[in-house]
Amino acid sequence: MKAWQLNRITDLSTDFKPLALADLPLPVPAGKEILIRVSCCGVCHTELDEIEGRVAAPSYPITPGHQVVGRVEKLGGDATQFKIGDRVGVAWIGWACGQCDQCKAGLENLCNQFKATGRDLQGGYAECMAVNEHFSYAIPPVFSDVEAAPLLCAGAIGYRSLRLSGLDNHRPLGLMGFGASAHIVLKLSQYLYPDSPIVVFARSEEERSFAISLGARWAGKPDDTPPVRPLAIIDTTPSWNAMVCSLEHLEVGGRLVINAIRKESSDQNALLTLHYPKHLWMEKEIKSVANITRDDITQFLKIASEIPLLPEVQTYSFNDANKALLDLKHKHVKGAKVLVW
């Protein structure tokens, strides 16, 4: 089968072909595994973090991709959850132990043996993949394959971020950055908190206009002053300056939720501008989002199918995986990007 592989950490500012196309043996599902014939896979900023070494794989080569949609082609000997031909999705959480204190508390995303699809386990930038059936999800019929793919990470992690924000209806929500996850959060929050005004901070005019077109009350640059102070801001950017700006914009007693697996080092000096009375005093809080649970995914897919929440998607051919990654790195994003076979 054909699969894209990352063979080493590299710099996307100089390396325009970070992934190499390889011919690999077809995986053989064992035990509780199922073999999935992949139809599409979302392109996530986490892949950029993997390629550039901020979230490095434990070994190489590795096939990235963790927003996978396909159909079951073969069952392992002990697999009973799905049947051949079923449409399924695979997300970032590829395995957790189920036995540690975190797992028993419903926090399998914090398991110290957590394994991520496309980093620790082979991912979905491939024609086929094998995955444990207990870390696979039935896709609601309201979504096409391409619509479903971004919901498995950008959507589900956005749902977790929104829950962690502690937002109540009527209270303002801020979104710092407006890419794949943030545009889904905007649509989700309009459903869950219909009376909460949403303000968006984004660097590009295209992203700000996109946010307004989807119903944002206001959109400005990261350091612009919004018409209302959000009680919660969800930051989906790789920028430290965006975090500092968010803290300044927060209402007293507000919470900043950082929905990013890593921040980039290019503007880390922005932290030196933190001014305690302005950015942190008055009981402002910062909370990170770490990984995701299976419950996040199943709960979000159910809510998204009820709305129905349909993401804005730009598609790329499977053969253009490197182009999709470079576009995500160097160009402004409108909605989500998905590789299609």
pLDDT tens for each residue of 239-298: 999 999 999 999 999 999 999 999 999 999 999 999 999 999 999 999 999 999 999 999
Q: CA 156, CA 164: separation in Å to the nearest integer?
A: 12
Sign of CA dihedral 244, 249, 253, 254: negative
- Kindly give, in sequence order, each residue whose CB lies less than 8 Å from that of residue 190, ignoring residues fewer than 6 positions away: 198, 215
Closest CA to 334 of 179, 218, 201, 174: 179
**153-166 pLDDT, tens per residue?**
999 999 999 999 99
Mark out the alpha helices in 193-320 (DSSP H runs): 205-213, 240-249, 294-306
Give yes or no for a contact between 258 and 243, defined as CB atoms under 8 angstroms apart. Answer: yes
Chain Cα centroid distance, residue 287? 17
Q: CA 17, CA 11: separation in Å to the nearest integer?
A: 10
Closest CA to 134 of 108, 112, 156: 108
The kind and range of the H/E element at 57 are none
Q: What is the pTM of this model?
A: 0.96
**What is the residue type of 62?**
I
State the pLDDT confidence band at 107, using cuts at 50, 70 and 90: very high
Give yes or no for a contact between 108 and 298, defined as CB atoms under 8 angstroms apart. Answer: no
Tell me if residue 119 falls in helix, strand or coil. Answer: coil
